[in-house]
Amino acid sequence: MHNYEECFNYVRQGSSPSTLKISDVKFTKINLPPWGSYLIRIDTNQGISGYGEMRDGASITYLKYLKSRIVGENPCEVDRLFRKIKQFGGQARQSAGVCAIEIALWDLAGKAYGVPVYQLLGGRFRDRVRLYADTHIEKGRATGTIMTPEEVGEILAGYMKQGFTVLKILSLELLMEQKGNYSGPLDWIRELREAQRQVYETAKKGNLAETMAANAKLYDYNRIQHPFTNIHITERGLEQMDEYIHRIREVIGYEVPLAIDHFGHFPLPDMIKIARRLEKYHLAWLEDMLPWHLTEQYKQLKMSTTASIATGEDMYLTETFEPLLQAGAIDIVHPDLLTCGGILETKKLGDLAARYGVSMALHMCESPISALAGAHMATASENFFTQEHDAFDICWWEDLVIGLPKPIVQDGFTVVTDAPGLGFEKLNEDVIREHGPIKDKTVWLSTDEWNQEKSLDRLWS
């Protein structure tokens, strides 16, 4: 005779997958710095829901116009539905709606069949997912105040004590933007510095709307591609960067892999100078040194340095990476799951990169939803190296999800459980109210105005 709890060991707790249908799509928002992220929920006719997330800073419209194309469909047919909607994605944030839906579909499929997402992808290559720890050289967020190399080194050393075995520093462009470290058209430099000053000033006030407006103005300058800025690093700038990284290495040592991101928008010749100057520091990779679509320039960069080169966080679909891989222009693909195409597309990218002898690291700076989606993909991918973790200053980060063993990050790794779907039951609506713009009793907003969106979507005749 079994007691009540033991009965559940003999009961299938999934749904009826063959008759599962999508009934609705809703969304909410969480104020993760710096731009916030939209979270989505896909509901079904059997009462189970799947959760996804849009890339930080993306417009919710990228999600809404996809609703009528998936309602009534069986969410377990993930690949077919992705192929149905993938034409509506684009590079960077333009793919945010497609990727959010794809992740939510996998969550639903796993819950429907009662298995974790990684098992649906083919099973494990590893028991835990290695994370790399980020820190900015900026003191706080949007302050413009640069920490000393020793301060940065101590932060990184603290992460190492927590168990992190790969590290990354960001916002090196703040160092390069100091007077004397670069040269360029003086009018443009003055305007850029004024836009940066406005960001720092509004951030001090804590007014979200004003800060976003200031960031938007600065973004207009940062949209100018590297070859067109005509800004060049000076020898003084190279020396200061060299000294800064040297002093960080003196604190953390040379054994731990250290990656670097955000150099500034310098043209190719300057990036070659930077890469060569940093070779002696045995860096894990130099990230996004040029716009990703400049394949020939990436090839020249790679042929000019022994430093590892990585890019990919703004690239959509596996085939977009192939020119860089064919050219031998990168050492590491660095996709963001919320841009690349979601879980399965990123796994396909990993398989493609492996054929070229290229490793895969994951960009990730959003909520636990995308972090767990990336962890499931990484668990099932052979050439995975490490996934980003950038939530050290967000104390409520892991409280956003309910029904998952805590802490999510243990000793520098994510341990993926065998719970169905992405591994959590639902989101904590109290946390969303506290740290998001929606304070209502129901934090999930309707997309009903898009129910009747219709279009002839075929791309061929």
State the pLDDT confidence band at 2, using cuts at 50, 70 and 90: low
Q: Provide the β-strand partners of residue 27.
A: 40, 445
**% of the chain surpassing 90 pLDDT:** 85
What pLDDT shows up at residue 61?
Answer: 97
pLDDT tens, 238-296?
Answer: 999 999 999 999 999 999 999 999 999 999 999 999 999 999 999 999 999 999 999 99
Distance CA(443)–CA(29), nearest Å, equals: 8
Rounded to an integer, the average pLDDT of 16-42 is: 95
Q: Cβ atoms within 10 A of the Cβ of 170, count? A: 18
pLDDT, tens digit, 9 for 90 and up, residues 164-185? 999 999 999 999 989 899 999 9
> Which pLDDT score is estimated for 3?
64
How far does Cα 133 stand from its chain's mean position? 13
pLDDT of residue 452: 92
Question: Which residues touch 92 (CB under 8 Å, ≥6 apart)?
Answer: 55, 314, 316, 339
Q: Which pLDDT score, from 0 to 100, does residue 421 have?
A: 98
pLDDT score, position 9: 52
Q: CA 174, CA 146: separation in Å to the nearest integer?
A: 7
Nearest-angstrom CA–CA distance, 63 and 26: 10
Mean pLDDT value across residues 199-217: 81
Question: Which has the closest alpha carbon to 272: 310, 306, 247?
Answer: 306
pLDDT of residue 307: 98
Query: Do residues 412 and 164 touch, judged by C-beta distance below 8 A?
Result: yes
Torsion of CA 393, 222, 297, 286, to 10 degrees: -20
Q: What is the pLDDT of residue 213?
A: 83
- pLDDT computed for residue 182 by the predictor: 94
Model confidence pLDDT, tens digit, residues 422-437? 999 999 999 999 999 9
pLDDT of residue 74: 98
Residues 6+ apart with CB under 8 A from 335: 312, 313, 315, 321, 346, 349, 360, 362, 363
The pair of three-digit structure tokens given for residue 330, joined into one six-digit string: 């990168």
- Strand-pairing partners, residue 259, are 168
Over residues 87-97, the pLDDT tens digits come to: 999 999 999 99
Spatial distance between the Cα atoms of 320 and 455, rounded to a whole number of angstroms: 26
pLDDT score for 11: 43
Backbone dihedral angles phi then psi of residue 37, each to the nearest 5 degrees: -135, 140
